[in-house]
């Protein structure tokens, strides 16, 4: 096989351009890791209204789509570009009112099916305009599947088997009739092509593959991809294999997300702002830097501070953490929440917060990233009570700062957190998902051990037994070492290349199938 050089990453998010959180960070870190090592990396994505900040390029893709009603619907797509370090981003925008209302909507996931459809049209037009094909395509979550398959088809029409990697960060997608994906609407052709079926390629039409999964876009992408990648082995086995069948493990791989968070950078900021780290600094930081921000509740500035962070959704389990305070009387909980419009859940959290007045506070206002990291650094532990979690970037950031984690024993969290009860290289405690008693006892135990005193109050016997043999500084060192060995650029780069090489091998089999 020829050397891999040109990488196209297709995504709805890229941190610093348009992002809601984990997906944007993951895509950016992957792109930068590859670009730093000499790959020609281009990220293709909808503009989401951001093109006003960047340089237009002379690209136009204007035509009509045919609806189920038989009528013709015009679209007209342009593009702008921006470079982030050595990564080129091409953002597709609308050149007429309707197309602009979709591709330039500031809300990343507004009218997502239409954005995904127009993105597929844009990417196909971009190939013809630029007369360029990548050496590999990396699509991220279901919104990018049609665009990725469009690139794959353009390769097939030119006699190339371009490897297609489908990275699933969060499983789930809608379903549509074939018309949605077809040449009449999103631009996919329908012809016979090789499809991997358990142990060999069989020849099927694109429509038949689509119909075989009842038009589910994620499942269609799973079948059409040469390799299905995800963010943890646990998520692959527990969610994707369960949803799509064990057969996908034969063409699957895992790439962890990497982090550039470093404790020395955060400590430098703390030293500059406060002259060093001292007992009680966490309360002063809250008073000075969070005053006036929107939120609910109140915490008295005493006791042991723990933090929890993430989107205010049922998945993240903040309600479990609040209830767990009943079993951790010394602990005060600060939740740095990101509202995503789940009003019912937010109201539920508000009611729980008011029941625990003086012990829990939720901040919903926007927080400077360095302040968020400083709060994690100064807290005794980070609480991640997720009901499920594909990866768990917050856990990686926390241990990168030397702050151990109490997390649900689910998904990728099991691969990030090393339980102190099982290893002398422990980085936290894993608890039963949705068990507020288990969470509360673990929260209290780890919080006390990180204070370095009052060990007789530790409720978990296994933790109390080791408390006198392992010091807080040793746990912090374990955390930082874990990140350096597993979640920095070099180990992640190897995982990415292993995935890409597997996809190239599968694409080679596809090319030589007769």
Q: pLDDT at position 402, please? A: 98
CA torsion 181-187-193-197 (nearest 10°) is -30
As a whole number of angstroms, the distance between CA 240 and CA 246 comes to 8
Instruction: Tally Cβ neighbours within 10 Å of residue 293.
Output: 13
Over the stretch 455-511, which tens digit does the pLDDT of each residue have?
999 999 999 999 988 999 999 999 999 999 999 999 999 999 999 999 999 999 998
- Residue 288: partners with Cβ closer than 8 Å, 6 or more residues away: none
pLDDT number for residue 514: 54
CA 326/CA 331 separation, integer angstroms: 9
Contact call for residues 126 and 79 (beta carbons, < 8 A):
yes
Residue 38 confidence (pLDDT) above 80: yes
Q: CA dist 215 to 179, 236, 246, 248, 457, Å?
A: 10, 22, 20, 18, 56
- Give me 68's structure tokens: 């189920």
Is 121 a residue whose pLDDT tops 70?
A: yes
Tell me: the pLDDT tens digits for 437-456?
Answer: 999 999 999 999 999 999 99
User: What would the pLDDT profile of 156-188 be if each residue is shown by its tens digit?
Assistant: 999 999 999 999 999 999 999 999 999 999 999
Q: Is the pLDDT of residue 1 over 90?
A: no
SS3 of 471, please? coil
DSSP-assigned letter for residue 182:
B
Q: What angle, 0 to 180 degrees and rounded to 10, lies between the N-to-C axes of helices 369-378 and 393-400?
A: 70
For the chain, residues classed under CATH 3.40.50.2000 are: 6-258+491-512, 263-487
Instruction: With cut-offs at 50, 70 and 90, classify the pLDDT of residue 361.
Output: very high
Q: Decide: 136 and 503 in contact? Cβ < 8 Å.
A: yes
The DSSP-derived string for 422-452 is T-TT--EEEE-TT-HHHHHHHHHHHHHHHHT
The CA distance from 376 to 478, in Å, is 16
Asked if residue 200 has pLDDT above 90, the reply is: no
Token output for 310: 């993430």
In the block, which residue shows the tokens 């699933």? 168
- Rounded distance between C-alpha atoms, residue 448 and residue 331, angstroms: 9
Burial of 13 (0-12, 13-18, 19+ CB in 10 A): buried
- pLDDT of 20: 82
Q: Using alpha carbons, select from 437, 432, 333 the residue that is nearest to residue 380.
A: 333
pLDDT grade for 22, boundaries at 50, 70 and 90:
confident
User: What is the band of 2 on the pLDDT scale with cuts at 50, 70, 90?
Assistant: low
| pLDDT per residue as tens digits for the range 256-287 | 999 999 999 999 999 999 999 999 999 999 99
Average pLDDT over residues 21-33: 91
Cα–Cα distance, 422 to 266 (Å, whole number):
30
Q: Kindly tell me the burial class for residue 264, based on how many C-beta atoms sit within 10 Å of its own C-beta (0-12, 13-18, 19 or more).
A: exposed
In this structure, whether the domain defined by 6-258+491-512 belongs to CATH 3.40.605.10 is answered with no
pLDDT at residue 7 is higher than 80:
yes
Distance, in Å, from the CA atom of 115 to the CA atom of 103, rounded to the nearest integer, reads 6
Q: Which two tokens stand for residue 101?
A: 């209302």
Residue labelled with tokens 């470079």? 83
pLDDT for the residue numbered 233: 94
Binned at pLDDT 50, 70 and 90, residue 513 comes out as confident
Looking at every residue in the chain, the average pLDDT score rounds to: 95
Q: Is the pLDDT confidence value at 296 over 90?
A: yes
Q: What is the DSSP string of 133-165?
A: --SEEEEESGGGHHHHHHHHHHHHHTT----EE
Cα Rg, the chain, nearest whole Å: 24
Please state, in angstroms and rounded to a whole number, the distance separating the CA atoms of residues 28 and 469. 41
What's the CA angle centered on 51, arms 49 and 54, to 5 degrees? 150
CATH fold, domain 263-487, is: Rossmann fold (3.40.50)
Is residue 349 predicted with pLDDT exceeding 90?
A: yes
Which tens digits make up the pLDDT trace of 84-93? 999 999 999 9
| Distance set, CA 365 to CA 1, 39, 368 (Å) | 51, 38, 10
> Within 10 A of 42 (CB to CB), how many other CB atoms are there?
21
Q: How buried is residue 284: exposed, middle or buried, by Cβ count under 10 Å (0-12/13-18/19+)?
A: middle
Which of 6, 8, 233 is closest to 139 using CA atoms? Answer: 8
**382 has a pLDDT exceeding 60:** yes
């Amino acid at each position: 096989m020829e050397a891999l050089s040109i990488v196209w990453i297709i995504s709805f998010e890229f941190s610093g351009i348009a992002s809601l959180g984990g997906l944007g960070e993951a895509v950016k870190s992957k792109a930068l890791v590859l670009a730093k090592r000499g790959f020609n990396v281009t990220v293709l994505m909808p503009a989401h209204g951001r093109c006003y900040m960047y340089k237009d390029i002379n690209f136009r893709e204007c035509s009509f789509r045919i609806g189920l009603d038989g009528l013709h619907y015009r679209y007209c797509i342009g593009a702008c570009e921006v470079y982030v370090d050595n990564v080129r981003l091409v953002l597709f925008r609308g050149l007429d009112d309707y197309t602009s209302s979709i591709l330039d909507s500031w809300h990343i996931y507004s009218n997502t099916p239409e954005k995904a459809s127009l993105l597929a049209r844009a990417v196909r037009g971009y190939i013809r305009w630029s007369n360029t094909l990548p050496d590999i395509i990396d699509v991220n979550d279901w919104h990018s599947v049609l665009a990725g398959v469009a690139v794959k088809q353009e390769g097939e029409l030119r006699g190339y088997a371009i490897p297609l990697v489908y990275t699933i960060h969060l499983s789930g997608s809608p379903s549509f009739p074939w018309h949605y994906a077809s040449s009449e609407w999103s631009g996919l052709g329908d012809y016979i092509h090789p499809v991997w079926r358990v142990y060999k390629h069989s020849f099927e039409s694109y429509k038949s593959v689509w119909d075989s999964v009842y038009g589910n876009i994620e499942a269609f992408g799973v079948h059409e991809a040469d390799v299905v990648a995800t963010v943890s082995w646990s998520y692959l086995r527990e969610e994707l294999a369960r949803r799509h069948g064990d057969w996908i493990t034969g063409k699957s791989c895992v790439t962890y997300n990497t982090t550039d968070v470093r404790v020395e950078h955060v400590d430098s900021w703390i030293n500059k702002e406060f002259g060093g780290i001292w007992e009680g600094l966490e309360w002063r930081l809250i008073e000075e830097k969070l005053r006036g921000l929107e939120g609910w509740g109140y915490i008295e500035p005493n006791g042991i501070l723990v933090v929890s962070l993430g989107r205010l959704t049922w998945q993240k389990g903040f309600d479990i953490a609040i209830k767990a305070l009943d079993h951790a009387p010394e602990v005060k909980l600060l939740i740095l929440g990101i509202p995503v419009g789940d009003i019912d859940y937010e109201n539920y959290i508000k009611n729980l917060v008011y029941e625990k007045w003086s012990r829990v506070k939720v901040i919903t206002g926007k927080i400077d990233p360095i302040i968020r990291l400083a709060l994690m650094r100064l807290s005794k532990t980070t609480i991640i009570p997720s009901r499920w979690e594909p990866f768990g970037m917050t856990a990686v950031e926390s241990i990168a700062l030397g702050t151990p984690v109490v997390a649900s024993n689910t998904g990728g969290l099991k691969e990030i957190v090393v339980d102190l009860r099982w290893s002398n290289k422990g980085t936290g405690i894993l608890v039963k998902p949705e068990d507020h008693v288990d969470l509360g006892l673990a929260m209290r135990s780890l919080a006390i051990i990180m204070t370095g005193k009052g060990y007789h109050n530790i409720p978990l016997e296994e933790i109390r037994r080791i408390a006198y043999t392992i010091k807080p500084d040793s746990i912090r060192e374990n955390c930082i070492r874990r990140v350096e060995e597993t979640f920095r650029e070099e180990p992640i780069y190897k995982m990415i290349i292993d995935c890409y090489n597997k996809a190239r091998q599968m694409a080679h089999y596809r090319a030589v199938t007769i």
